């Protein structure tokens, strides 16, 4: 089985999104760094080797808004995606394809931390314009220290739910990549996380 690695909370303006998150939760996220392609992130730990990534257009980058996680047209913060960490990412991709779900090809990615340290990892990527992705992408940190191990401020992940018009089909796709989550019937695809914070329960959707 794959382990929850992180949740992706996409915001149209990174600094405003982080400030709003800190006000809602009482916890200030830590700057993660910038990715090639024009995005940057801030992080909060969720315990047990998992974290929340707040991602948005890199405030220091110029040019068109990045396409990742629907940022190109995003107008309000949204819980857009999630990632799981399999024991063997390449074997999991093969098994998922055999089960009828293609998680995409494994590709390298990196980001530069504020102190200049380069973090490198591999993940599955699909050419998918959807703003919300109910099936997690796969990630392998290799020799890189996991972000949750770097002393992040912590919040509790109370619950994580996925709404989907065809829950049985989604459960089959989740099983194909070795992931589990609470799936409920919904008119449209939506991710929902409830966080335990110093300001009380906070819902991200």
Structural domains in the chain, sorted by start: 3-204 (3.10.180.10)
**What SS3 state is found at 91?**
helix
Region of poorest pLDDT, from 21-25, 83-87, 144-148, 157-161: 144-148
Confidence class for position 63, pLDDT limits 50, 70, 90: confident
Whether 189 shows a pLDDT value over 80: the answer reads: yes
* Alpha helix positions (H), 40-190: 89-98, 167-176
Whole-number average pLDDT of the chain: 95
Summarised one tens digit per residue, pLDDT across range 122-180 is 999 987 766 799 999 999 999 999 999 888 999 999 999 999 999 999 999 999 999 99
Other beta carbons less than 10 A from residue 130's beta carbon: 12
How high is the pLDDT of residue 103? 96
Query: Considering only 85-89, 130-134, 200-204, which range has the smallest mean pLDDT?
Result: 130-134
Long-range Cβ contacts of 56-60 (<8 Å, 24+ apart): 56/10, 56/11, 56/12, 56/13, 56/14, 56/17, 57/12, 57/13, 57/14, 58/14, 58/34, 59/14, 59/15, 60/34
**CB atoms near residue 42 (< 10 Å):** 24
Place of tokens 């290799």: 142
pLDDT at 131: 75
Which pLDDT belongs to residue 126?
86
């Amino acid at each position: 089985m794959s382990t929850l690695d992180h949740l992706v909370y996409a915001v149209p303006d990174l600094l405003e999104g982080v400030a709003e998150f800190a006000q809602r939760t009482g916890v200030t996220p830590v700057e993660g760094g910038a990715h090639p392609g024009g995005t940057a992130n801030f992080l909060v730990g969720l315990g047990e080797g998992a974290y929340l990534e707040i991602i948005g257009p890199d405030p220091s980058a110029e040019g068109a808004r990045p396409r990742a996680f629907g940022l190109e047209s995003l107008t309000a913060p949204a819980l857009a995606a999630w990632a799981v960490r399999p024991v063997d990412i390449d074997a999991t991709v093969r098994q998922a394809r055999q089960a009828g779900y293609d998680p995409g090809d494994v590709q390298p990615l990196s980001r530069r931390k504020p102190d200049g340290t380069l973090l490198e990892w591999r993940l599955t990527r699909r050419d998918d314009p959807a703003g919300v992705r109910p099936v997690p992408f796969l990630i392998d940190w290799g020799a890189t220290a996991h972000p949750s191990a770097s002393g992040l401020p912590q919040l509790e992940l109370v619950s994580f739910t996925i709404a989907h018009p065809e829950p049985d089909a989604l459960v089959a796709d989740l099983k194909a990549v070795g992931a589990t989550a609470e799936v409920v019937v919904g008119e449209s695809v939506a991710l929902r996380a409830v966080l335990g914070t110093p300001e009380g329960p906070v819902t991200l959707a």
